[in-house]
Structure 1
Amino acid sequence: MTQPTNPNQQTQTQAAGETLEILPPGSTSRDVLDALSRMIDREGLRIGDRLPPEVDIARRLGIGRAKVREALTSWQSMGIVVRNKKAGTRLAAEVAANAIHLPVTMKLEAESLLRTHAVRRPLEVEAVRLAARNRSPQDAAIITTRVSELMQVYGSNTDWRPADDLFHRAIYEACGNPLFGQLIQQIQQGFKEVYEAPLGKPHLGHETIPLHPPLAQAIAEGNEAEATRLMDEILSIVEAEIRQVLETKND
């Protein structure tokens, strides 16, 4: 039997949809989510509230439904919404500008980063521990080569992110369990699809790069304790950088 519609929820969803603005041609997934963030904040939607249906969002934004689905899938992977065919898309995290010094989209971005970081952290630490334990001579040579390439790019003041990605992939391959690399990549993917420059910083974690050579050395030498300590320090620096954005206040 079809469940009766909640009049309050229906009215709330309709009102929310009316606040969406038409996006210009070529808008990205991030543009879609920025528009939704502003709508959610204006309408005061809270955890558990339902967003308008995809087809309504697409029509009101003047874009294709596929673009809306792509954007909401990214939010789902970041823990911001939960999606169900029967229940629709509901908020799973607050999207509200409760700190007037920080734009709602920036606040949401920082909080999303912290959520993904919290899940990624134990996986990264365990991956380097296992890599230090299980690495073969060939693995150690590849990790050493990758970190050398990373430092060359880093020293040239160019985009070091691709080299950093290759370095960490070498660690995942050395750990002996392919699930670590797969899970970490899945956690990061949803965020990367939307935020090319997290928090307006294309090189978030720039200060951690000098710690990568000793990390590579610890893994190559089979020093599990030192490898996990360095990885934990790297992740702590990144987390502190994210939290600093959330704590930023107007002068």
Structure 2
Amino acid sequence: MIAENGIGVGDRLPPETELAKALGVGRSTVREALQAWQSLGIVTRNKGAGTVLRAPITTSSLHLPIAITLEAQSLQRMLEVRRPLEADAVRLATLRATDRQRHEIMTSCYKLMDIWRSGQDWRQADHAFHATIHEATGNPLYKQLVDQLQGAFHSVYEAPLGEPMLGTDTIPLHIEMAEAICAGDADRAAELMHKITDLTGRDVEKIIGDGADA
């Protein structure tokens, strides 16, 4: 509807009641969709300005569904914000971690590797591993910010781009990063964190490319 009506970035969307009528759904459904889009940076909403489109919605691709395009754009935005946050957290954890926290980082990483090698769903273990790093920074805001970013995305996309375990190829780098943290090599640990987020970003781009070529 947005694309067909020529609504572009910076334009205001029709009111919820008009959207609900045009789309043949309840107003609560429209509100939930717009709230999800707001959390992903696709729109902004406030009482004075209404709902304003902040990311392009287009039907220019004949092969890649709009839903996949939105997922990819949302994930790329999240990774763009998360990349410096995670690298800074890793660097601080390397400098500040206590012996106990280093032990917890390695223990959680070994658990992650075991689950990954067994072919099970490793996402919860990965989250727990990164949480031990965030705790070692001594600054609770790192965990809060990353959790908010992930929560906003995964509340909408259970399996982003049809890949529930997107980024599985990055798992072997986690043990190297954990070892760098425990060895006190902050530069190496941050470099590996950058590689992890960059590889995930490339996975997103590959999926988009494969979809467009299908």
TM-score strictly above 0.5: yes
1:175 aligns with 2:141: no
1:250 counterpart residue number = 213
Give 1:74 deviation, angstroms.
2.3
Contact 1:58 1:64 in 2 (8 A): yes
Of residues 188, 191, 209 in structure 2, which corresponds to 1:229?
191
Give 1:55 deviation, angstroms.
3.8
Matches within 5 A, 1:85-164: 85-164=47-126
Give 1:111 deviation, angstroms.
1.0
Q: Within 2, Cα distance between the matches of 1:105 and 1:184?
A: 24
Contact 1:73 1:190 in 2 (8 A): no
1:63 counterpart residue number = 26
Which consecutive unaligned segments of at least 5 residues does structure 1 have? 1-38
Distance 1:220 1:105, change over 3 A: same
1:15 counterpart residue number = none
Distance 1:61 1:220, change over 3 A: farther
Q: Within 1, Cα distance between the matches of 2:179 and 2:24?
A: 51
Of residues 195, 213, 218 in structure 1, which corresponds to 2:180?
218
Contact 1:97 1:107 in 2 (8 A): no
Which consecutive unaligned segments of at least 5 residues does structure 2 have? none
CA RMSD of aligned residues (A): 1.6
Distance 1:161 1:176, change over 3 A: same
Contact 1:71 1:194 in 2 (8 A): no
Give 1:231 deviation, angstroms.
0.5
Contact 2:109 2:175 in 1 (8 A): yes
Higher relative contact order (CA 8 A, sep 6+): 2
Q: Within 2, Cα distance between the matches of 1:140 and 1:244?
A: 35
Q: Within 2, Cα distance between the matches of 1:227 and 1:167?
A: 14
| Number of aligned positions between the proteins | 212
Q: Within 1, Cα distance between the matches of 2:135 and 2:171?
A: 20
Q: Which has more radius of gyration?
A: 1
Q: Within 2, Cα distance between the matches of 1:175 and 1:55?
A: 47
Contact 1:78 1:112 in 2 (8 A): yes
Contact 2:135 2:143 in 1 (8 A): yes
1:32 counterpart residue number = none
Percent identity of paired positions between Structure 1 and Structure 2: 46
Give 1:106 deviation, angstroms.
0.7
Q: Within 1, Cα distance between the matches of 2:194 and 2:149?
A: 18
Does the residue aligned with 2:177 lie in a helix, a strand or coil?
helix
1:22 counterpart residue number = none
The code of the aligned residue for 2:185 comes to N
Contact 2:16 2:27 in 1 (8 A): no
